[in-house]
């Protein structure tokens, strides 16, 4: 659980992330695992476990700048940001690491556990 991840995660760069390391508890390569986590977890449902996103108030800064965005290609609500304190286009993994204040590896592990990829 306290695995140290020696790669820095650059929050605003979602297109160029390269993860060649494998998760310790599974044979699934990290990149594949994070893809499955994003595919399978419903962003709005995950957010709703922490706060009600419908009024747009950000739980971190308190401004009414929190939005969930729809992917025009597949129609899924799968990106979010707070225009005030966390501006960008973020996925469900980034949401969990942001709200829980944990690292990316741990966020992926939590989400994978919830969809029962990991125990
Ligand atoms: Zn905010």
Tracing tokens 């747009």 back to the chain, one arrives at: 56
Rounded-to-integer distance, Cα 37 and Cα 56, Å: 24
Q: 81, exposed or middle or buried, with CB in 10 Å at 0-12, 13-18, 19+?
A: buried
Centroid of ligand 1 to alpha carbon of 64 (angstroms): 8
| 3-class DSSP assignment, residue 93 | helix
- Domain spans, the chain: 30-114
Looking at residue 111, its pLDDT comes to 95
* Residue 64 or residue 115, greater confidence: 64
Q: What is the CATH number of domain 30-114?
A: 3.90.580
User: Using H for helix, E for strand and C for coil, what is the string for 20-31?
Assistant: CCECCCCCCEHH
CA of 24 relative to ligand 1 center, distance in Å = 33
- Higher pLDDT pick, 22 / 118: 118
pLDDT in tens, 45-104: 999 999 999 999 999 999 999 999 998 888 999 999 999 999 999 999 999 999 999 999
pLDDT classification of 118: cutoffs 50, 70, 90:
confident
Question: What per-residue confidence (pLDDT) applies to 119?
Answer: 76
Please say if the pLDDT value at position 36 is more than 90: yes
Residue with tokens 């706060």: 51
Query: Looking at residue 82, what is its pLDDT?
Result: 98
Exposure of 67 in the CB half-sphere (CA atoms within 13 A): 9
Residues with CB under 5 A from ligand 1 (ion): 58, 60-61, 82, 84-85
Backbone angles phi, psi at 97, to 5 degrees: -70, -30
Query: Model's pTM, two decimal places?
Result: 0.75
100 contacts 5 by C-beta, under 8 angstroms:
no
Q: Taking 90 as the threshold, does the pLDDT of residue 5 lie above it?
A: no
């Amino acid at each position: 659980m306290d695995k140290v991840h020696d790669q820095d995660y650059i929050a605003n760069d979602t297109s160029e992330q390269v993860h060649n390391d494998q998760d310790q508890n599974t044979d699934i390569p990290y990149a594949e695992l994070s893809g499955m986590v994003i595919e399978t977890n419903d962003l709005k449902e995950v957010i709703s476990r922490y706060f009600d996103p419908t009024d747009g108030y950000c739980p971190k800064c308190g401004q009414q700048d929190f939005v969930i965005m729809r992917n025009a290609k597949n129609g899924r609500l799968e990106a979010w940001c707070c225009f005030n304190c966390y501006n960008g286009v973020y996925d469900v993994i980034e949401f969990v690491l942001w709200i829980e204040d944990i690292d990316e590896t741990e966020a992926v592990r939590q989400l994978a556990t919830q969809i029962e990829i990991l125990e």
